[in-house]
Structure 1
Amino acid sequence: MKIALMDSGTGLLAAAAAVRRLRPDADLVLSSDPDGMPWGPRSADDIVERALATARAAVAHGPDALIVACNTASVNALPALRAELEPAVPVIGTVPAIKPAAAAGGPVAIWATPATTGSPYQRGLIDEFAADVDVAAVPCPGLADAVEAADSAAVEKAVAAAAALTPRDVRAIVLGCTHYELVAELIRTAVRPTGLPPLVLHGSAGAVAAQALRRIGADPAPELAPTGGLTVLHSGRPAELPPAALAYPEGRLLRTVAPAR
């Protein structure tokens, strides 16, 4: 079994780690685009072009499925990716977990990049799934870039700024950028000090990992030996996990002694 994941940068680590936990025997292909990141400020056409190139590099390694582990790419390029790759390779997109967060009751905050926060896409998800709960849209300028660089001081500053914009009474936060899942506990602590009711964080990594397995007819088997190999591609070039990725538990989990196949 081989699962590919794509993103502009290290935002794919959370979903890749989720796949590894569900199927330690699965080979993983991590395809990112350091030459073109960040994708967020680019035009929609440019994002589609970069996403297609990143996906093609991954698909050249023969995966059974491709996870688009990036909100920006999912918003802008998912139709183009599916049109080119399916049905040969199932393509699984990433959608902010607004629906389950709202189903549990509000108030809910959605942390996302500034571009996503003001997008018709996010507004449409709120209107569709969270019309009956209080929702605070919280822009997080600089947070994804700080996470990408594993710059702890910059991460703490960006998290603190977003926490200051988050209503104190929120019951849950939707992590609307895959990078944010790598610093989830820091976000939880910044928003909800000790002594207050627990704050629920809704990411997408677990859901997309499970969906990828369903699409290829595979069952979770976390008890299996960790024999899965790892292939890393940077803008199509063979590479290794960058040092910044190893700053996070998810990145360290992906290190493997098995040869990539």
Structure 2
Amino acid sequence: MTRIGLLDSGLGLLGTADALFNLAPDADLVLAMDPDFTPYGSLSTDTLEQRALQSAGVLAEWEPDAIVIACNTASVQALEAVRARYEPTIPVIGTVPAVKMAAGTGQDFAIWATPATTGSEYQQNLIDSFAADLHVAKIACPGLAEAINVADLNKIDTAIEDAFTQMGPGMETVVLGCTHYGLVADRIMAARAGALTVFDSPMPVAKQTLRRIGLEPAGVGEDQHGTGRVLATFASGRRVSLPQALDAYPAGKRLLAREA
């Protein structure tokens, strides 16, 4: 039976977990969140590496086929440390913003991310590699991930409006550079009059995870009712039930239904 571990500071791992269940409905998941140290963007690199390694250690005890760092900030600052600890025994997959996919449209675009990711050399290197000939607006969204963690819809909508004020009026493409943001993609699209194209990372990350472990994905979008379950959830190392805040999001509802 396939078993995959996911780690993040909070609810941002929901999108990737949901995508994995869509592609591999019989896989089991183990989730490690870190509410005692959220938001990860406020931590030093050394502290963030320690937190990611701690969560990865919890997941490794379940002998997963792979560990997914379902967090952009942690992937930027801690992916190599986690890989050095666990590969090649356990493949470790990071999360990369969908910059390449957005650049493929040939249109200027914005990247919404945490302040830490927005100012990172890692994100700038992605822009330089795939979108050097395009105008890319780097939009920091302070407080949005934190509001999503507690399902505070008023703060979510305020943060979304603040992000749009930083974008040019003619820009119609957004890359979600934080895994939390996909949980409110519907609210992001509803807040902008006119057409808006949103690129997110969970499905590409899920596909890459299955490639790394040699598992053939099921058809995307098919009605999947597999045997896969959320075997265990951890909060800063403590065994817990899935937080009820998940019920505010469609992906969260689906995850709650799969809790063992």
Q: Give the structure-2-normalised TM-score.
A: 0.94
Deviation readout 1:17-59 (Å, 9 max, x if unpaired): 0001111111011111112211111100000000000111011
Q: CA deviation at 1:117?
A: 1.4
Counterpart residue number, 1:121: 122
Deviation readout 1:35-84 (Å, 9 max, x if unpaired): 22111111000000000001110111111111100011100111111011
Q: What is the letter of the counterpart of residue 226 of structure 2?
A: P
Counterpart residue number, 1:21: 22
Counterpart residue number, 1:243: 244
- Counterpart secondary structure, 2:41: coil
Counterpart residue number, 2:213: 216
Q: What is the letter of the counterpart of residue 21 of structure 1?
A: N
What is the rounded CA distance, in whole Å, between the counterparts of 2:96 and 2:21 in structure 1? 20
Q: What is the letter of the counterpart of residue 108 of structure 1?
A: F
- Segments of 5+ residues of structure 2 without an aligned counterpart are none
CA gap of 1:109–1:258, structure 2 versus 1, over 3 A, is closer
Q: What is the letter of the counterpart of residue 107 of structure 1?
A: D
What is the rounded CA distance, in whole Å, between the counterparts of 1:190 and 1:149 in structure 2? 20
Counterpart residue number, 1:102: 103
- Counterpart secondary structure, 1:131: coil
Q: CA deviation at 1:257?
A: 5.4
Is 1:205 the equivalent of 2:206?
no
Count of residues in correspondence between the two structures: 255
Give the conservation status (yes or no) of the 8 Å contact 2:76–2:117: no
- Aligned-pair identity in percent equals 50
Q: What is the letter of the counterpart of residue 242 of structure 1?
A: P
Q: What is the letter of the counterpart of residue 28 of structure 2?
A: D
Counterpart residue number, 1:47: 48
Give the conservation status (yes or no) of the 8 Å contact 2:41–2:115: no
What is the rounded CA distance, in whole Å, between the counterparts of 1:178 and 1:87 in structure 2? 25
Counterpart residue number, 1:143: 144
Counterpart residue number, 2:168: 167
Give the conservation status (yes or no) of the 8 Å contact 1:5–1:67: yes
CA gap of 1:146–1:257, structure 2 versus 1, over 3 A, is closer
Q: What is the letter of the counterpart of residue 147 of structure 1?
A: I
Is 1:70 the equivalent of 2:68?
no
Q: What is the letter of the counterpart of residue 226 of structure 1?
A: G
Stretches of 4+ moved more than 4 A in 1? none
Q: CA deviation at 1:225?
A: 3.6
Counterpart residue number, 1:7: 8
Is 1:229 the equivalent of 2:229?
yes
What is the rounded CA distance, in whole Å, between the counterparts of 1:133 and 1:258 in structure 2? 43
What is the rounded CA distance, in whole Å, between the counterparts of 2:189 and 2:82 in structure 1? 34
Q: CA deviation at 1:115?
A: 2.0
Deviation readout 1:207-254 (Å, 9 max, x if unpaired): 010111111111112566421121211112211110112211111111
Q: Over aligned residue pairs, what C-alpha RMSD do you find?
A: 1.3
Give the conservation status (yes or no) of the 8 Å contact 1:227–1:258: no
Q: What is the letter of the counterpart of residue 205 of structure 2?
A: V
Q: What is the letter of the counterpart of residue 190 of structure 1?
A: A
Q: CA deviation at 1:112?
A: 0.8
Q: CA deviation at 1:258?
A: 6.8
Q: CA deviation at 1:132?
A: 0.7
